[in-house]
């Protein structure tokens, strides 16, 4: 059975039927799925969740689907890592990485939202699914659509990284490259959704789609041993994931699944696209849109539709926002790779770089638990790393040349040089 009650306007609480609707007729406020938490009490428990599959569908009772899941059966339940080497480097006591760069099938947090959205698209009888995307969402929609036998139409800015484009095309979608930035693509998509009977996951399925992002937060809580990190640092692009991680924490608290440790949540953006962080710094309720200019293209959204709620949730929690320069982002990508063996995209570098700045400025205390949300994979954006590593000379297959190179590397790569043979 499903615990879903209705769609509800986040502003005026007007209720709507569970249909492909996006905004409230009265005030254009976003619609959100409402659940019957009373009915869940005693039934949705640690034990009921632990008995579920090792995927995001173990949280099915807290997701807005009617029947059985029909997409993303292997999505979610990504690694949660106690990052001790990184913690030592940063001088903090307890640091975790929630690693959605290893999500299935398309290596980003988007596999969560798409698993839910495509299940709903099938429930609503759509044969075509689509999205406006900075790359990761398009990749995920195309992958899940191929597996589910749906037609995919993905709309992206024309200048995305090659890795994202090739990986997406391999799933056979119709790809529409649009001149302009994500915000231009997004606006076009809302007009497309008005005209074509497609399930555009982040437009007409948005209330369902966004619920999938909660599973990132549920997993953090479960994998931490049914408790919440005191401080969670999340990237902010369109503004979906951060309020949904927060909602996940609050739902678990409401259901008595975790203790309320008064968690705080923090938003990370790139200096070249930081409308939400700017609003937080200036203590504004509303953000002013920006024209993005950053290497972190996955999060280059200058007019975040849910930015208002990101600001609200961060303020309520007592958290804050931070932004990072392109070089700080690249340095953080390398740091995460070097200390933990995780290769993230610049969006992940942004989140870590901002977490570091929040620690250094004292906003996040060094002796409390911290979780950094890594939402995408570096293999899709390899071109940004060009020039970031020392050149590696090629040698002939001769022992003498090898010995010489080992000696050189001991000088240039002291921390990474192989141990010399006995």
Partner 1 sequence: MADTVIVRIPTALRPQVGDQESLDVAGSTVGDVLSSLNGDYPEFGKRLYKSENEINRFINIYVNDEDIRFMENLQTPLKAGDEVSIVPAIAGG
* Tokens representing residue 399 in the block: 């022992």
Q: Does 27 bind partner 1 (CB under 8 A)?
A: yes
Can you tell me which residue has the tokens 């408790």? 227
Give least dist CB 91 to partner 1, A.
32
**What does each C-alpha distance from 136 to 35, 243, 329 come to in angstroms?**
29, 19, 18
Q: Does 133 bind partner 1 (CB under 8 A)?
A: yes
* Tokens representing residue 155 in the block: 């709309």
Among 8, 55, 78, 202, binds partner 1 (CB under 8 A): 202
Give least dist CB 180 to partner 1, A.
8
Among 13, 19, 26, 41, binds partner 1 (CB under 8 A): 26
Burial class of residue 325 (count of CB atoms within 10 Å of its CB; 0-12, 13-18, 19+): middle
Closest C-alpha to 46, from 255, 261, 212: 255
204-223 residues near partner 1, rule: CB under 8 A: 206, 210
Residue 96 pairs in a beta bridge with 82, 371
CA distance 390 to 388: 7
Q: Does 183 bind partner 1 (CB under 8 A)?
A: yes
Among 257, 301, 324, 342, binds partner 1 (CB under 8 A): 301
Q: Is 340 or 344 the residue whose CB approaches partner 1 more closely?
A: 344
Q: Does 291 bind partner 1 (CB under 8 A)?
A: yes
Q: Is 210 or 317 the residue whose CB approaches partner 1 more closely?
A: 210
Among 60, 110, 144, 214, binds partner 1 (CB under 8 A): 110
CA distance 90 to 81: 16
Among 55, 103, 136, 232, binds partner 1 (CB under 8 A): 136
Q: Is 81 or 236 the residue whose CB approaches partner 1 more closely?
A: 236
Q: Which stretch binds partner 1 (CB under 8 A): 28-36, 218-226, 262-270, 413-421?
A: 28-36
Among 299, 356, 371, 384, binds partner 1 (CB under 8 A): 299
Q: Which stretch binds partner 1 (CB under 8 A): 63-71, 80-88, 143-151, 235-243?
A: 235-243
Give residue 418's Cα distance to chain centre. 35
Q: Is 78 or 298 the residue whose CB approaches partner 1 more closely?
A: 298
Q: Is 27 or 410 the residue whose CB approaches partner 1 more closely?
A: 27
Closest C-alpha to 221, from 63, 73, 15, 58: 58
As a whole number of Å, the end-to-end CA separation of the chain is 65
Question: Residue 235: which region, alpha, beta or left (left: phi > 0; alpha: psi -120 to 50)?
Answer: beta
59, 249 in Cβ contact below 8 A?
no
Q: Does 134 bind partner 1 (CB under 8 A)?
A: yes
Q: Which stretch binds partner 1 (CB under 8 A): 69-77, 249-257, 288-296, 354-362?
A: 288-296
Give residue 63's Cα distance to chain centre. 17
What letter does residue 62 receive in the DSSP assignment?
Answer: G
Can you tell me which residue has the tokens 């280059």? 300
Give least dist CB 264 to partner 1, A.
23
Residues sharing a CB contact under 8 Å with residue 17, sequence separation 6 or more, in sequence order: 6, 7
- What DSSP element (H or E) covers 309? helix 307-317
Binding site for partner 1 (CB under 8 A): 11, 22-23, 25-30, 110, 131-134, 136-137, 182-184, 186-187, 189-191, 194, 202-203, 206, 210, 237-240, 286, 288-289, 291, 298-299, 301, 303-306, 308
């Amino acid at each position: 059975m499903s615990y879903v009650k209705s769609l509800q306007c986040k502003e005026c609480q007007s209720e709507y039927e569970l249909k492909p609707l996006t905004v409230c007729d009265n005030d254009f406020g976003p619609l959100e799925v409402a659940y019957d938490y009373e009915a869940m009490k005693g039934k949705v428990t640690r034990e009921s969740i632990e008995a579920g599959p090792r995927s995001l569908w173990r949280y099915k009772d807290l997701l807005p689907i009617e029947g059985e899941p029909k997409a993303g059966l292997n999505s979610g339940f990504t690694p949660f890592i106690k990052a001790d080497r990184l913690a030592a480097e940063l001088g903090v006591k307890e640091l975790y990485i929630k690693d959605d760069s290893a999500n299935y099938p398309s290596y980003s947090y988007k596999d969560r939202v798409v698993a839910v959205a495509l299940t709903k698209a099938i429930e609503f009888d759509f044969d075509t699914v689509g999205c406006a995307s900075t790359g990761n969402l398009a990749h995920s929609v195309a992958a899940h659509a191929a597996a589910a036998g749906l037609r995919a139409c993905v709309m992206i800015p024309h200048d995305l990284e090659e890795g994202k484009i090739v990986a997406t095309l391999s799933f056979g979608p119709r790809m529409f490259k649009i001149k302009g930035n994500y915000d231009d693509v997004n606006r076009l998509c809302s007009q497309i959704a008005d005209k074509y009977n497609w399930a555009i996951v982040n437009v007409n399925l948005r209330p369902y789609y966004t619920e999938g992002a909660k599973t990132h937060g549920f997993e953090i809580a479960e994998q931490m041993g049914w408790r919440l990190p005191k401080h969670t640092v999340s990237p902010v692009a369109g503004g979906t994931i951060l309020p949904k991680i927060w909602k996940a924490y609050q739902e678990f608290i409401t259901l008595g699944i975790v203790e309320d440790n008064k968690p705080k949540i923090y938003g990370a953006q790139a200096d070249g696209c930081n409308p939400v962080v700017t609003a937080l710094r200036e203590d504004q309720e509303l953000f002013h849109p920006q024209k993005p200019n950053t290497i972190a293209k996955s999060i280059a959204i200058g007019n975040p539709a849910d930015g208002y709620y990101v600001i609200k949730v961060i303020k309520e929690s007592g958290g804050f926002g931070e932004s990072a320069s392109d070089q700080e982002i690249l340095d953080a990508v390398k740091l995460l790779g070097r200390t933990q063996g995780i290769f993230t995209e610049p969006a992940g570098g942004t989140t870590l770089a901002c977490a570091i700045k929040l620690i250094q400025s004292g906003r996040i205390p060094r002796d409390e638990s911290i979780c950094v949300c890594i939402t995408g994979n570096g293999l899709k954006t390899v071109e940004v790393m060009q020039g970031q590593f020392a050149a590696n000379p090629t040698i002939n297959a001769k022992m003498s040349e090898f010995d010489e190179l080992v000696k050189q590397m001991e000088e240039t790569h002291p921390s990474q040089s192989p141990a010399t043979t006995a």
